[in-house]
Structures are given as structure tokens and as C-alpha cells.
Homo-oligomer: A and B are copies of this chain.
Amino acid sequence: MTQLTHLDDKGAARMVDVGGKQPTARAAIASGRIRMSQVALVAIRDGSGPKGDVLAAARIAGIMAAKQTGSLIPLCHPLALDAVTVDFTFEDDGLRVTARASLTGKTGVEMEAMTATSIALLTIYDMAKAIDKGMVIDAIRLIEKTGGKSGTWRAE
């Protein structure tokens, strides 16, 4: 029978016990997009050139949020991350954010990569919302995870 690992046999929420697991090298990559008007897109691109801080702010916000994942997501373990990166790609109708987290530990870092992606996207929304309130964040998903007992997983 299918069972949610974060519920005990009475349905109560719990942190999954990772006490018996061995630390191994693990990594996860997540990505997501924010779609926006051309006016907003141009403003962000201009605000990210030599003098601008837009993407720099979103990157820092994403990296800092990855480190707060255990405080934000109720049943996540607090993790000693080895590394976090957040990158941006301009697309025709918006921006793509890709985040990668890694650690040597007993549980995976999928949520850290997903959280970094989400907060970086929200930061972009915040900085451009005076121009375009209709921006839409979508396609936040796990792209790949490696390491751990279940091994490598890749989005189809």
C-alpha cells in the first residue's frame, strides 16, 4: 500500500528518521520559470548589466533560502550543505532559474534546490512587480537527484 513517509501509521506528521542511514554524497538540481511582459523583461535585463543588482539579489536570496529550508518546510531535516548555486537564463518570454544543492549527508537535498529556485523566482517577481503584476511563476520541478540509496533520478 502506498504511504506518505512523512505520516506515521496514525496519520500524524513526523520527520522521517534518518538515524540509521550512512552519510553519502548527494546532489539535486531544480529549475523553474517566471513569465513576464517584454517591458518587464527588458527592465530586468537592463537592471542586471554592469550597474544593476536584480539577478544578483535573486541569486543571493535563493542561496540564503536554501540554507533556511529546514526552518521553512516543516518536516525537512536541518542540513549541512556543501554547496549551493543559483543560475539564470533569459528566455523569450521570461527567465529560467536553475538551482543546485549538494551535501555529504544522510538525506537528500531536493527540497533545498526546490526552495532556492522558488525564492529566487519570488525575488524577481518582487523586484519587477511595479512594472508587471501579471507575471506567472511556473514549471518548478526537480530536474535531477544523485546519490543516496535510491540513486540517480532524472525528470523525463
Residues of B within 8 A of A7 (CB): 47, 52-54, 127
Is A17 an interface residue when CB atoms closer than 8 A count as contact?
yes
Copies of this chain, how many? Answer: 6
- Whether the Cβ atoms of B126 and A122 lie closer than 8 Å is no
Alpha-carbon gap, A106 to B23, bound state (A)? 14
Beta-carbon contacts under 8 Å, A64-107 to B: 64-65, 67-68, 70-85, 87, 102-106
- Whether the Cβ atoms of A126 and B47 lie closer than 8 Å is no
Given A84-B15, A140-B138: A123 and B74 interface contact (C-beta under 8 Å): yes
Residues of B within 8 A of A50 (CB): 11, 49-50
- Whether the Cβ atoms of A18 and B83 lie closer than 8 Å is yes
Residues of B within 8 A of A122 (CB): 72-73, 111, 114-115, 118
- Whether the Cβ atoms of A15 and B53 lie closer than 8 Å is no
Per-position contact with B for A2-24: 1 when CB-CB < 8 Å, else 0?
11111110111111111100000
Residues of B within 8 A of A32 (CB): 137
